[in-house]
Amino acid sequence: MQLDLNLLTALDALLEEGSVAGAAARLHVTAPAMSRSLGRIRKATGDQILVRTGRSMVPTPRALAMRAEVHALVQQAHHLLSPEQSLDLEALDRVFTVRWHDALTAACGTALTAAVHRRAPGVRLRLSAEPGTDDPELRRGEVDLASSSGPPALADIRHRLVGRDRLVVAVRPGHPLTEGSPSPERYAAAEHLTVSRRGSLRDPIDDALATLGLGRRVVAAGPTSTFALQLALETDLVVTLPDTVTREARDRLGLITLPAPLRLPDVPLYLLWHQRYDDDCAHTWLRDLATETVQALFAPGNA
């Protein structure tokens, strides 16, 4: 037998009001319509539910036994099918996986983790290493929030631009490029290192050099900014990286930074998430907090 779950709402009203007229008024339907619903409930349950005694109706023993359970089921259904009204951060128990570029994690992963723990102590963060592919983990729900230097190609991946960085040249103290003002020709003649999790030996810098009729020799591709900066410190290799998100690591290592001697496009920074989380209050809170944390890097006082 196929059951109409709308009958639960009618049954709840009938048991709460104790009359067809009262239940009809409560649900804003006509008394004949509620009477028909009672007939269907009686047929489905095999019980009279409400029986007449004089001018009033009283619930049967089975109706009394099921009244609390029916009411709880209806309330739970209303809760499940209603928009989230508020977010209790103190009571929030959730695990979020954040997959950011290693330089961004190094720059503000600590601040994000501390802010999350301070405001929502029951939330746990899983800061994962950035893999070689982007969108599948977001689509499968394995990653809640990711970073990228470009907007996603897939329509179901949402994005938010949170900042723009400029590229700078990082070299060891005493590197030949620190003597005088580096020209595009001297920059191109140096040996270079790229940062690519896919191991690419070419990036947009090569395109910018090509417009000047120049080319460079890339000696190695490093998987992370941390690796690249350490290698630049120990060799004469030149690494060109976003200024803001790598500044703390460069300063800690004692590297010298120089302005890029050619026109290079700014590097945009996006946060990515799957559309399933658009209306998720907890996820909205996380991505807003992440946005606030990342944008603090680009504040004038931090430049």
Q: CA nearest 253: which of 271, 272, 239, 267?
A: 239
Determine whether 19 is exposed, middle or buried from the number of CB atoms within 10 Å of its CB (0-12, 13-18, 19+): middle
pLDDT tens by residue, 56-91: 888 899 988 988 898 888 878 776 776 666 789 999
pTM of the model: 0.72
- Residues in Cβ contact with 136 at an 8 Å cutoff, skipping those fewer than 6 apart: none
pLDDT tens by residue, 3-33: 577 888 899 889 888 889 888 888 888 989 9
- Residues in Cβ contact with 26 at an 8 Å cutoff, skipping those fewer than 6 apart: 13, 16, 17
pLDDT tens by residue, 157-182: 999 999 999 999 999 999 999 998 88
Return the structure tokens found at 5.
Answer: 């779950």
